[in-house]
Amino acid sequence: MSKLVGGADFLLVPSQDFARAADFYGNVLGLDEGKQYGKHPGGEWETGNLTLQILETEAFGIEFHPTKNPLALHVDDIEAARAELEAKGVEFVADTLDSGVCHMAFFEDPDGNALCLHHRYAPPEARPG
């Protein structure tokens, strides 16, 4: 029997200002732009395994609500990535967290959507009791 779902294609990231969000995801985070939706304030940015669909939601008839559950963005070196983002003006909400298998550093985009830098350094089964 085949699987019903074979992966995740995109995640909608709501925005109130598409140009500001496009600058943040493209220039601050350094994600590759996939495409923009022409005269509609929306577009796509690539993370490598998941497309982020950035929409100025109200232009599409969707009420704006920032996402408060963080999207974890993989990085190879969390402290270097954090320092680079801090140099670009990104403010982190706390010190880098060590879960026992990964490091996480939490912040928000300009619309208040929760994000975190994430680096897994041990397999999940290594998590302490």
Cross-strand pairs, 73: 117
Q: Are residue 71 and residue 49 in the same domain, yes or no?
A: no
Q: Are residue 71 and residue 123 in the same domain, yes or no?
A: yes
Can you give the residue range of the structural domain that contains 80?
66-129
Give tens-digit pLDDT for 83-125: 999 999 999 999 999 998 999 999 999 999 999 999 999 876 7
Q: Are residue 49 and residue 106 in the same domain, yes or no?
A: no
Tell me if 37 is assigned to some domain: yes
Greatest C-alpha distance within the chain: 53
Tell me if 1 is assigned to some domain: no
Residue spans of alpha helices (H) in the chain: 18-23, 78-87
pLDDT band with cut points at 50, 70 and 90 for residue 3: confident
What element of type H or E holds 104?
strand 102-108
What is the C-alpha radius of gyration for the chain, rounded to an integer number of angstroms?
16
Q: Are residue 54 and residue 76 in the same domain, yes or no?
A: no
CA atoms within 13 A on the CB side of 105: 20
Tokens 């990535």 map to which residue? 81
Give tens-digit pLDDT for 8-52: 999 999 999 999 999 999 999 999 999 999 889 999 999 999 999
Tokens 């559950």 map to which residue? 69
Tokens 């300009």 map to which residue? 110
